[in-house]
Chain A
Amino acid sequence: MDILSYLVFFSVVSGIYAIATLGLNLQWGFTGIMNVGVVGFFGVGAYAAAFLTGPAYADAFGGFGLSPLAGYLGAMIASGLVALVVGLLTIRLRHDFLAIGTFGAAVCIQLLAMNLKPITRGFDGLHSLPRPFAGLAATPVAANACFLAMVVAIIAAVVWALERMVRSPWGRVLRAIREDEEASAALGKNAFAFRLQTFVMGSMLMGLAGALYASFTGFVSPQDLLPILTFQVYVMLIVGGSGNNYGAVLGAVLIWALWTMTETFLGAVLPAGLKQQVSALRVVLVGLILVLMLLYRPQGLLPERANVSREARLQG
């Protein structure tokens, strides 16, 4: 039973990461937008859901008491709006400036979460968020299993929608922009508009992941908004295969498995006093995997598939 509940818990968290990774795949994998602020949009979603669904705090904003579903939708809208503002400011910039700009935006969002105490309660965080299925299911494990089913359903729906989108003419333009922005502009494609669209949509998925995370754990604090999350999501995408939606999901599960197993394994092998060292060693290990992947298998485990339109296939 313990193993089962652990597996369910593990699957939910890796599923949540998978949704954020799918969002990044739309931005980076398909359009070449280097968003180094994944955690910022994740955080906006988590806090938006907390405000909308959470109880009324004496010393913080929120207490709208909406249903979790409304929380998820609100979170997507909130992170989409933030992405729209950040995107309007930075999306015209070259890759490297965009990376720096989004990185800065995420730092600012974390600073706001930490310091806007009358709204966010600072490091105390927003707690006692309603957890869906908690009242419906008999045991906590059953409630988590229901949550898992919901996450899996969301992933399936997102993958289905993204696959349709990237195969459409719209998706072909994205890849054209990624490969050669000037050439696609010369063909009359408004690269700015396409990039902004994917930036906002990808960030909405990251926001949804944040909202799911908040409602799964029932708690959100600035501790959940560390830059390491951005790094994890990138490693997931690169290992899985950027430009491949199934790769994004596979990478999320694999890296999260590695992340949690190294802690369990190292925690068992090393003496108990070395908890700091264990978590440090784990980051070094994942960093090493990233570098090795970049060097020896930059296309990832599931490489992007060539996508040829039906007309071109018929002619070829």
Chain B
Amino acid sequence: MIQVLADGVVAASFIVLGVVGLSMIYNILNFPSFAQGDHIATGAYIALGIVALAGTAGSIAGLSFGWPLIGALFCATLLNGLLALLIDRSIYRQLRLRNASRISLIMASFGVALMLRNLIVLFAGHDPQYYAFAIQPALGIGGARITPNDLLAVIVTAVMVVALHLFLSRTTLGKSMRAVSENPSLARVNGIDVDRVIRWTWLIGAGLAAIAGVLLGLSVQVNPSMGFELLLPMFAAMIVGGVTSVYGAVLGALLIGIAEAVTVQYIAPEYRQAVAFLVVILVLLVRPQGILGEKA
């Protein structure tokens, strides 16, 4: 039971890091991005490329990798953010300037998703890859067994969530982001630079996605559809938590992660992806505004 909970929290941490971007993009740019999953994959592959150049020599405190990977993680976070910014500039921004409908933006993100995934295949192939092959003995913590890499994923996620909270509640930029997501026109009238807010939305959203990708790659493997497979759980987390709230999305991710772990353990591992869908349908029927959402 405790093991299932621990597995759930680990699964949730990747969803959390991905869903923050999804939720911010949804609230600030007003569309669900079907490409968010593939931004996770691009992040993982950028780090993989850097590791291939620098190597993963050494190992820190029982983790399966050394300092080069930490460096790669930072570079991938930044580069993935810049990549998202480039995509926004060349595609989404052009659509916004043309006053395109929300549906056009969704379709465009669908196109971006497939382009990113297939560019990965083009450069790195279909086969799964690994940052390092070291076998890790699991640690026993309070009756649950967890590998150091997975524990790191949970800790990094927790730190990121706290950092995000401080950013959104304490900094001017964070407050502007919340203002824009509440009411873009009012924010603009009050002198908030909406374009700057949008730039930071992509940088943060895709940056966190890159961290999710690297951690997921360390935990399982790196493959081109690793992010796409997280898309449905992320959408589910966002809807379950109430789409208007980043915090709700984090809570939703936790719920979906645990629901997935329960399914894998007690029902059937092959239906893992279906759980997210069932939870969404259930929530939409019972409490359409989500757990932390406000009534429309």
Contact = CB atoms under 8 A, between A and B. Distances in A.
A243 B248 CA distance: 38
B106 A99 contact: yes
A107 B232 contact: yes
A95 B103 contact: yes
A228 B114 CA distance: 8
A149 interface: no
Given A96-B32, A276-B126, A291-B108, A101 B281 contact: yes
Contact of B235 (A89, A104, A294, A295): A104
B280 interface: yes
Interface in A88-110: 89-90, 93, 95-97, 99-101, 103-105, 107-108
B273 A111 contact: yes
B94 interface: yes
B285 interface: yes
Contact of B281 (A32, A89, A99): A89
B239 interface: yes
A298 B271 contact: no
Contacts of A93: 284, 288
Interface residues of A, number: 39
B232 A103 contact: yes
A83 interface: no
Interface of A: 32, 34, 36, 89-90, 93, 95-97, 99-101, 103-105, 107-108, 111, 114-115, 228, 231, 234-235, 238, 276-277, 280-281, 283-284, 286-288, 290-291, 294-295, 298
Interface of B: 26, 31-32, 34, 91, 94-95, 98, 100, 102-104, 106-108, 110-112, 114-115, 117-119, 121-122, 125-126, 232, 235-236, 239, 268, 270-271, 273-274, 276-277, 280-281, 284-285, 288
28 contacts: A34-B103, A34-B106, A89-B285, A90-B281, A97-B239, A99-B106, A100-B32, A101-B281, A101-B284, A104-B232, A104-B280, A104-B281, A107-B274, A108-B274, A111-B270, A231-B114, A235-B111, A238-B107, A280-B118, A280-B122, A284-B114, A284-B115, A291-B112, A294-B104, A294-B107, A295-B91, A298-B98, A298-B104
